[in-house]
């Protein structure tokens, strides 16, 4: 992967402002949700590694995205160790997201030339993650740390690119709070993909939620 492609992923994340994240053990469901998010305008998506069969769902999801969803960057989340990162990278992951900070995962991502988003929750972790080559840091859990934490971080580390995950809602009030605080982007999971809509197969409504969320994000960041 070229540096230009790597930067393109980061620019897509900044442009969208929202990183959808989702896991389901059934490929057809995962495929439908991915398509719904894409139809809603999202061009970056995190499939989370939260089940034993995650890799077997991820493989055909990558193939589907490459064949049917042009311009989409598909990454893998909930990665704890370097071996897992390498396996998913070898199977087409465009970027790797962690709930924790493990520098060994960063090394694997750098060798592959793809973005690495380690999870952090302290100023020291942010500093060490950036020192280890992190392109983005994932602030988690956002609802526990709060938006004031980002504002404080932006003092000594004004150039830190922070994605907030955990407790963010696809509403004007929630998104405005986080972007006003200085978030580079926000991660949205269950609040963007409600369980009842998944169970009933109401993917058109999910498309609407994604579309509305992207529009809100664009609006609040213009002010």
Q: What confidence tens digit (pLDDT) does each residue in 102-127 have?
A: 999 999 999 999 999 999 999 999 99
Phi, psi of 5 (to 5 degrees): -70, -40
* pLDDT tens column, 193-206: 999 999 999 999 99
Could you tell me the pTM of the whole model? 0.95
Please tell me the total count of domains within the chain: 1
Q: Please tell me what DSSP assigns to residue 187.
A: E
CA angle 131-89-139, nearest 5°? 45
**Structural domain of residue 52, as residue ranges?**
3-221
What CATH number has the domain bearing residue 151?
3.20.20.70
Name beta bridge partners: 163: 138, 185
């Amino acid at each position: 992967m070229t540096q230009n492609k790597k930067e393109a992923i980061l620019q897509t994340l900044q442009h969208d402002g929202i990183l959808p994240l989702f896991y389901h053990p059934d490929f057809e469901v995962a495929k439908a949700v991915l398509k719904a998010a894409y139809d809603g305008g999202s061009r970056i998506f995190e499939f989370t590694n939260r089940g034993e069969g995650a890799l077997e769902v991820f493989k055909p999801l990558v193939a589907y995205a490459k064949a049917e969803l042009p311009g989409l960057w598909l990454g893998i989340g909930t990665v704890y160790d370097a071996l897992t990162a390498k396996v998913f990278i070898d199977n087409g992951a465009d970027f790797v997201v962690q709930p924790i900070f493990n520098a060994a995962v960063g090394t694997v991502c750098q060798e592959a030339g793809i973005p690495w988003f380690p999870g952090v929750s302290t100023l020291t972790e942010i500093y060490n993650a950036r020192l280890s080559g992190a392109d983005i840091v994932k602030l988690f859990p956002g609802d526990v740390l709060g938006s004031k934490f980002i504002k404080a971080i932006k003092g000594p580390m004004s150039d830190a690119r922070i994605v907030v995950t955990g407790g963010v809602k696809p509403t004007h009030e929630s998104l405005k709070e986080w972007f006003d605080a200085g978030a580079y982007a926000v991660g949205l999971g269950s609040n963007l993909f409600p369980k009842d809509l998944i169970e009933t197969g109401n993917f058109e409504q999910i498309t609407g939620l994604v579309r509305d969320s992207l529009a809100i994000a664009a609006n609040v960041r213009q002010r």
